[in-house]
Amino acid sequence: MRIVSRPLVLLLNCITICLAVVMLLPGVWIIAASLTPSRFLNQGLLLKSVSLENYFVALESANFLLLYRNSFVYALGLLAAQIPVTLLAAYGMARAPVRAAKLLFYVVLFQFFLPPVALIVPNFILISRFGLTDTLVGIALPYVASATGTLLLRQGIRQIPTELEEAALIDGAGRLQILLRVVAPLVGPYIGAFCLVSFVYHWNEFIWPLVVLSSPEKRVLSVGFASFTRASESGAEWGLIAAGAVLVAAPLVVAFLLAQRFFIESFARTGLKG
């Protein structure tokens, strides 16, 4: 039994393809630009000759192995702390008595109200007091309490009918057990989405690591990328910037493709067109 009629499917597929082609522009441009030697790119001659020289220059301009390691440790380590903290809090929020839950919602939401810029100096002072300047832990601490994660997971948990948990409670299960064995598996896609969001955000984050870190050995990828692509006084080296951007984004694409499988499994169960 078709849920969506054939002609509609065709139309929708066409729209999808058109949109995809448009969206391909930036990505294709970056890859093409990264493979075009700068001297041609600056003439506007994309791919006049194809070479990897931009990549070689980029790799020479910064210690990418170190940068990857630092960013990876930072983003993943932070995620490892964020997931338990936000999962616990989201469950607490979703199942707390109504009035308390409403208050908690706004208390957590408040984190979005302060611009990150306003948080930099006071957080930096705090991190300094703890002696954690120039450490990856120092950059990570302010982000452990993630409002994004908490609220996203809360939404997911609220989509689950409480009967499941009540049955488990009657069977004598503790709340923590219920969270881990009943609720968490059901909000898998939400956790997955948050992992992606958090990882990507912190992989690309620039200004806060710039302020906190000092030693070249601690440098993260975004700062390293900036160290050879910022050109406030001269012209911009598009080829180099493009190659650098590809090097920065590549691990993320890999991560996304791997995480994709997780999404596919879930999405395969439903979907409009079946």
Closer to another protein by CB, 29 or 50: give it: 29
Closer to another protein by CB, 65 or 97: give it: 97
Closer to another protein by CB, 50 or 167: give it: 167
d(CA 43, CA 36): 11
Which residue, chain included where needed, has tokens 């990507």?
200
Q: Which two tokens stand for residue 223?
A: 């700062």
d(CA 73, CA 201): 14
Contact 203, 222 (CB under 8 A): yes
Of 99, 172, 215, 258, which one interacts with another protein (CB under 8 A)? Answer: 215
How big is the site for another protein, counted in residues (CB under 8 A)?
Answer: 166
d(CA 34, CA 216): 26
Residues between 36 and 75 that touch another protein (CB under 8 A) = 38-39, 42-44, 57, 60-62, 69, 73
Taking CB under 8 A as the rule, which mask of x and - marks residues 220-239 in contact with another protein?
--xx-xxxxxxxxxxxxxx-
178-185 own/partner pairs: CB under 8 Å, 24+ apart: 179/87, 179/88, 179/91, 183/91, 183/157, 184/87
Under rule CB under 8 A, residue 10 binds another protein: no
Closer to another protein by CB, 35 or 108: give it: 108
Q: Packing angle between helix 188-204 and helix 221-229, nearest 10 degrees?
A: 40
Residues between 126 and 145 that touch another protein (CB under 8 A) = 126, 128, 131-138, 141-145
Residues between 148 and 207 that touch another protein (CB under 8 A) = 148, 150-152, 155-156, 158-164, 166-169, 175, 179, 181-182, 185-186, 189-190, 192-193, 196-197, 200, 203-204, 206-207
Give Cα 52 to chain centroid, integer Å. 28
